[in-house]
Amino acid sequence: MAVQTVTKVLEAADLGLTLPHEHMFIDLRNQFTPFDDAEKDAISRQKVHINNLGRLRLNPYAIQDNLVLDDMEAAVSETLLFKEAGGDTIVDCTSIGIKRQPEKLRELSLRTGVNIIAGSGYYTQDTHPREMANWTAGYIAERIVRDFREGIDNTDVKAGIIGEIGTSKEILPWERTNLEASALAFQELGAPVYVHTYPWGQAGIEAVDVLVRGGVAPEKIVLCHIDVEPDLAYITALLNRGVFIEFDNFGKEFVIDPTERGFAGGIFIRDLDRVRLIHDLVRAGYASQILVTNDICLKSMLCCYGGWGYAHILKNMVPLMKSENLSESVIHEIVRDNPVKLFS
């Protein structure tokens, strides 16, 4: 199957080693919750700096600047680190509502030689335009299809995935309409559909059901963010529906103070625990439905701010998988083959 990147069309088999869910440029300040405490409020207005990285390791949502990625030169250097580690392709899942920047994605791809696949559709309801109250699923589907066939936001940069389509802890009315719209768009495009789920919720099953009823093939659905504080029964129920699940929070290990969680509904488990859960799922026969990536959407995840960057899976997690007795063939299947299969 042909895959549209921001610069050209590729065959799925030529994607190479792919990160299936990242953000190169994004604005997630909709997830910031203001603080009543004067000291915390003052810190929340600072720029990300070595002096406040400790604060962010406890709560990544505590500083507004941490929720914005918009620096082209930083993006180039960080993407080149991924390329040097053996990476070929990055799927940028930024959708409408969290500041898509298609022309910057194209520039980034041209400057680095890394393939980038761009997103389409709408994020969570808190970011939707007010006029969506009057939009039908058919109208939204037309806008998604236009991103693929004509270009994103009046550019000639074309989308390659449907998503990430936003859902909240409970699927809200406009979000349901967007899922229905995604199913309509899928019928024309056949592209993968990515569903953003609230990381501490379990609305993914309902989202899958809406999509499948609308005609989306389960093997073209990606359920995102199932690895933040995972529930094995929930994950297994998703897998049994035939979809891909995404371990997409590698590099995020946060124990957030319950008194200041705001958007966050819990903690982020350790990467080691993610790998061990993957091992359990592999033994249960689900290796072919697992995707792994970082979902970088925070400055503090970048190498230039003390994080592990886009190369984290290849440089750090593959060795950890080996040390946890995942076989070379299984690692190859999860890291290389499954993203290609999603786009095939």
Please report the domains of the chain, with CATH numbers, ordered by start residue: 2-343 (3.20.20.140)
Tell me the C-alpha distance between 175 and 161, whole Å.
17
Q: What is the pLDDT of residue 265?
A: 79
Binding region: 21, 23, 164, 196, 225, 295
How many CB atoms sit inside 10 A of residue 290's CB?
22
Amino acid identity, position 280: D
Tell me the C-alpha distance between 203 and 216, whole Å.
17
How many CB atoms sit inside 10 A of residue 33's CB?
12
Tell whether pTM > 0.95. yes
Token look-up 């990160």 returns 19
Amino acid identity, position 131: E
Q: What is the pLDDT of residue 261?
A: 73
Q: Do residues 1 and 339 touch, judged by C-beta distance below 8 A? A: no
Tell me the C-alpha distance between 60 and 54, whole Å.
10
Tell me the C-alpha distance between 339 and 333, whole Å.
9
Amino acid identity, position 83: K
User: Two tokens at 52?
Assistant: 């406040």
Binding region for a divalent metal cation: 21, 23, 164, 196, 225, 295
Query: pLDDT tens, position by position, for the chain (344 residues)?
Result: 899 999 999 999 999 999 999 999 999 999 898 999 999 999 999 999 999 999 999 999 999 999 999 999 999 999 999 999 999 999 999 999 999 999 999 999 999 999 999 999 999 999 999 999 999 999 999 999 999 999 999 999 999 999 999 999 999 999 999 999 999 999 999 999 999 999 999 999 999 999 999 999 999 999 999 999 999 999 999 999 999 999 999 999 998 888 887 778 789 999 999 999 999 999 999 999 999 999 999 999 999 999 999 999 999 999 999 999 999 999 999 999 999 999 99
Tell me phi and psi for residue 83, to 5 degrees. Answer: -65, -45
Q: Which candidate, 284, 166, 162, places its Cα nearest to that of 235?
A: 284
Q: Which candidate, 225, 153, 150, 137, places its Cα nearest to that of 186?
A: 137
Q: What is the pLDDT of residue 220?
A: 99
Q: What is the pLDDT of residue 263?
A: 79
Tell me the C-alpha distance between 129 and 133, whole Å.
8
